[in-house]
Chains A and B, each alone.
Chain A
Amino acid sequence: MSRQPPARPRGARSQRTRSTSRFRGWLRHHRAMSLDSARRLLQAPLASLLTMLAIAIALVLPAALWLALDSARLLDAELDESATLTVYLSHGIDEAQAGRIDEAVDAQEGVARTQLISSAEGMAEFQQALGLNDALGRLEHNPLPASIVVVPVDPAPKAVRHLAGELETLSGVDEVRLDLAWLERLRHLAELGSRLALALGVLFGLGVLLVVGNTIRLAVESRRQEIEVVMLIGATHAFVRRPFLYSGAWYGLGGGLLACGLLGLGNQWLATPVSALAASYGATFSLPRLGPEGSATLLLCSTLLGWLGAWIAVSRHLAEVRPR
């Protein structure tokens, strides 16, 4: 007690206590309204659940598409590794020369690493891949040139093409091959998919706004008298809005949770056939999961959408009761 600074100006202190008590009052109202709106939702459990389900269904489709694209992006990253060039050396180049050319290619700017495949190694690989041991064995000499597999630093098609042009000018190089067309096609498809997901996300987000907006509009209608009375005795718009904003946010959060649940169920439902299908191609592939980060994003978005839908609905009503 004795440590308190003496004789602070009274005006400043009372000003401060007034603003801190106002802040406490504001916090108190937030707490009261969040609980009150949650209680109102629970009082009509079936109606609330239906609203949340409608929100959840609107969220599941874009979220599922987004997940699918996410796994496609992972696949794409793996494919970048395969954006390699094959440099075919001229015929009649011996191993020592090939080694020197390999060093020159490796030293080239934009080359991550190289792998020299001698003509003999190339032949062996060819025989193994095609299972034509006998037929090829009868050839008198090896028709395959030595080649260098080049992994570029930048897998973007433009950069790869530029690198190919550079490598072609090296002496002893016969031809540079790159197969980018299918990779580009895949990229275009992924781009299309992500735009589709964005458009669907926007559309279904609007759907969520409408669902929440309409529900809150009905709630506002049923509490019209209460709103009029509190506005008559000096409630601000923020005060009137607050319980409805919390209702909207609760609806959004509930819808988001249901959507997470639906996505998890869908994942379980599809997991067995998908992994069986992947196994038949000799691959291992598991369906992407939302994960904690994705779930948090989904819940945040759904809550914000619910809040925004409520805000729009209440604001429209408040504009009607302004003094004329």
Chain B
Amino acid sequence: MILFEHVGKRYGGRFEALANIDFRVQRGEMVFLTGHSGAGKSSLLRLIMLLERPTRGRVLVAGHDIGRLHPSQVPFYRRQIGVVFQDHQLLVDRSIFHNVALPLEIRGVEPREAARRVRAALDKVGLLHREKALPIELSGGEQQRVGIARAVVNKPSLLLADEPTGNLDPQLSADIMALFEDFNRIGTTVMIASHDLALIARLRHRVLRLREGRLIADEEAA
């Protein structure tokens, strides 16, 4: 599903965020990406989201070299990926329902069909009863679950998450991770960047370890 070949990323010609990264993630896998802050986790995810382009090597997603995508094709590529952010990135002036509906609105999905899918996604994260609320009225854990609902409402084949449990207490973090495992179980490829080592160790999935922009370990699922 994801293939990195000798990928390097420099910023401003000096700072080397990533160097010679090689790995492959199979379709349907669940992978953790870990390392200290500044190790290059976010940069790696940004390359997959095509927010940035590598300075060396190439990145293949679903068999396509995404470096060769024409700028006009980038939006359609991004629609196949669900992304969960540490700070949720919810739109503060829209209800939970409309936040989750956003990817469908972008795709031009017919409103009745969209409403059905939004409610299904909200139901999956246990927030169907809050659909009319604004993001600010929700707790941090609930906001993160809205972010996950938005990421999966499109039924993406690839789900990326950047520190999804960054600001949550251990119990809430475990709940969020369980949600990701549920989506993985129905066939979604999941890649999660996290520095919560204790939690990752308990979950027993494949772990990619980064240090100072290099891939120092690739531990298979136990």
Which A residues contact B (CB, under 8 angstroms)?
21-22, 24-26, 28-29, 225-226, 228-237, 239, 322-324
Contacts and interface: CB of A to CB of B under 8 A. Distances in A.
A323 B52 CA distance: 5
Given A232-B78, A233-B79, A234-B103, A28 B71 contact: no
Given A26-B108, A29-B105, A235-B106, A229 B52 contact: no
Interface string B39-53: 000000000011111
Contact-residue size bin, chain B (C-beta under 8 Å from the other chain): 20 to 34
A182 to B, nearest CB: 62
B91 interface: yes
Contact of A28 (B50, B78, B108): B108
Contacts of A228: 89
Given A230-B102, A232-B49, A323 B74 contact: yes
B216 interface: no
Contacts of B102: 229-230, 233
Contacts, number: 63
A28 B106 CA distance: 11
Contacts of A233: 78-79, 83, 102-103, 106, 150
A32 to B, nearest CB: 8
A231 B91 CA distance: 13
> What are the 8 closest A-B residue pairs judged by CB atoms, nearest first?
A25-B108, A234-B79, A234-B78, A236-B75, A234-B75, A235-B106, A233-B103, A229-B89
B76 interface: yes
Contacts of A230: 102, 106
Nearest to B55: A324
B211 to A, nearest CB: 25
Nearest to A321: B51
Contacts of A232: 49, 51, 78, 83, 89
Contact of A229 (B53, B75, B91): B91
A24 B106 contact: no
A24 B114 CA distance: 14
6 contacts: A24-B110, A25-B108, A29-B108, A229-B102, A231-B78, A234-B75
A67 to B, nearest CB: 44
Given A239-B75, A323-B71, 14 more contacts: A21-B108, A21-B110, A22-B108, A24-B110, A28-B108, A225-B91, A228-B89, A230-B102, A232-B78, A232-B83, A233-B103, A234-B77, A234-B79, A234-B107
